[in-house]
Amino acid sequence: MGHTRVYECPQQVYRLTPPKERTNNFVFASPHSGAQYSQAFLKLSQVPRQMLRRSEDAFVQDLFGDAPDLGASLLQALFARAYVDVNRSEGEWDPHLFQNMPGPDTGIELDLTTRTQQGLGVMARLGAEGRSLYARRLSMSEGLFRITHFYRPYHKALMSELERVRQDWGRVVLVDCHSMPNSSSGGYDIILGDRFGTSCRPELMSLVENKFRTLGFTTKRNSPYAGGFTTAHYGCPEAGIDALQIEINRGLYMSEVSVTPSSRFENVKKSLRVFMEDLTLASDACNKAAE
């Protein structure tokens, strides 16, 4: 109960960088690369900050940081994924984490998914290597605070940007950018997710995959990552919104133990710039075909 006194309202929840000149209909998003850990959160957690950082998609916002120079927008969540995960539905509350669960009066519609049962709900109970993040259960008010002040502002910004681009261009492409542990990559450089063909037009997905392979990356689709809440929630090709997820093997560009960029970081970033530039130019053909 006492921890409610150390809530910290955010100064900035997300960073939306608009294109220098809008030349395409792409929105790149990095929901898991935030590295802001409030003192309130660190007081609640029993895990050292360096261990908490292993849950981040560290440096992904930098890998895709050239998107605004190439005519697209880039949205990044600034808060840590371990604090609240915007790639989950806001109803994925873990009953093993909270003292009491929100009722209908809170506006939260509970969604007890497999991820929630595994301790990986919208507010994770477990972190990297399966470590428990907290020594005790959290209050419902703690969870509502995170949803209200962090989760919803991020999604409001994403939704507004997608709608703005769709109105201007007729269609919009959301690229949700993530990284994956080398141990779960299956030996691939890139895992592409389109919710098994439901969130993105197949011709666009093939274009994305071909661009990566041309640059020398090995790719696989939808296994073990088919796309999370963001891809499923926003992706609707019939309504003019294509959404796909990109998972990059962390072993390509960083040390997973120290959470620092490796000597290969700049080369990977340069390759991703070429990928984004070629993709945004080539996607015009896909858009014309969809008209």
159-170 confidence digits (pLDDT tens): 999 999 999 999
DSSP 147: I
- Which range is least confidently modeled, 25-39, 116-130, 205-219, 277-291? 277-291
The neighbour count for residue 19, using CB atoms within 10 Å, is: 18
Higher pLDDT, 289 or 163: 163
- How many CB atoms neighbour CB 78 within 10 A? 18
Amino acid 282: pLDDT? 86
For tokens 């419902």, what's the residue? 140
Q: Are 144 and 106 in contact (CB under 8 A)?
A: yes
The DSSP result for 43-60, as a single string, is HHB-S-HHHHGGGS-TTH
Locate the domains of the chain by residue range: 2-84+171-290
Cα 122 from chain centroid (whole Å):
12
The DSSP result for 159-175, as a single string, is HHHHHHHHHHHS-EEEE
Interval 91-98 mean pLDDT: 96
Enter the DSSP assignment of 137.
P
DSSP E strand boundaries for 9-107:
14-17, 26-30, 73-77
Residues 6+ apart with CB under 8 A from 172: 25, 26, 27, 162, 165, 166, 240, 241, 242
Local structure of residue 264 (DSSP, 8 states): T
Interval 148-157 mean pLDDT:
96
* Residue 21 predicted with pLDDT over 70: yes
pLDDT of residue 37: 94
- The predicted structure's pLDDT at residue 287: 62
Q: How much of the chain exceeds pLDDT 70, in percent?
A: 93
Q: Which residues pair with 255 in a beta bridge?
A: 260
Question: Taking 60 as the threshold, does the pLDDT of residue 260 lie above it?
Answer: yes
Rounded Cα gap, residues 12 and 64, in angstroms: 20
- Rounded mean pLDDT, 102-118: 92
Q: Write down the pLDDT at residue 283.
A: 77
Give the closest residue to 28 by CA, choosing from 204, 169, 174.
Answer: 174
What is the Cα–Cα distance from 109 to 80, expressed in whole angstroms? Answer: 23
Q: Is 99 helix (H, G, I), strand (E, B) or coil?
A: coil
* Residue 7 pLDDT greater than 50, yes or no: no
CA distance 176 to 244: 6
Among 2-16, 57-71, 100-114, 131-145, the minimum mean pLDDT is found in: 2-16
- pLDDT at position 222 is 98
Structure confidence at residue 128 (pLDDT): 82
Query: What fold, for 2-84+171-290?
Result: Aminopeptidase (3.40.630)
For range 120-139, the mean pLDDT? 93
Q: How far apart are CA 189 and CA 272, in angstroms?
A: 12
* Mean model confidence pLDDT for the chain: 93
Please state which of the ranges 83-87, 105-109, 126-130, 253-257 shows the lowest mean pLDDT.
126-130
Q: What percent of the chain has pLDDT over 90?
A: 89
* pLDDT above 50 (res 4): no
Neighbours of 35 (CB within 10 A): 16
Q: Is the pLDDT of residue 254 over 60?
A: yes
| pLDDT of amino acid 158 | 98
Structure-token pair, residue 256: 């997973």
User: Model confidence over 56-82: pLDDT tens digits?
Assistant: 999 999 999 999 999 999 999 999 999
Q: In which band, very low, low, confident or very high, does the pLDDT at 206 lie, cut at 50, 70 and 90?
A: very high
Q: What is the pLDDT of residue 130?
A: 85
Q: How far apart are CA 110 and CA 289, in angstroms?
A: 40
Phi, psi torsion values for 248, nearest 5 degrees: -105, 135
- Statement: residue 3 has pLDDT above 60: no
What's the predicted TM-score (pTM) here? 0.94
Rg value, the chain, Cα? 19
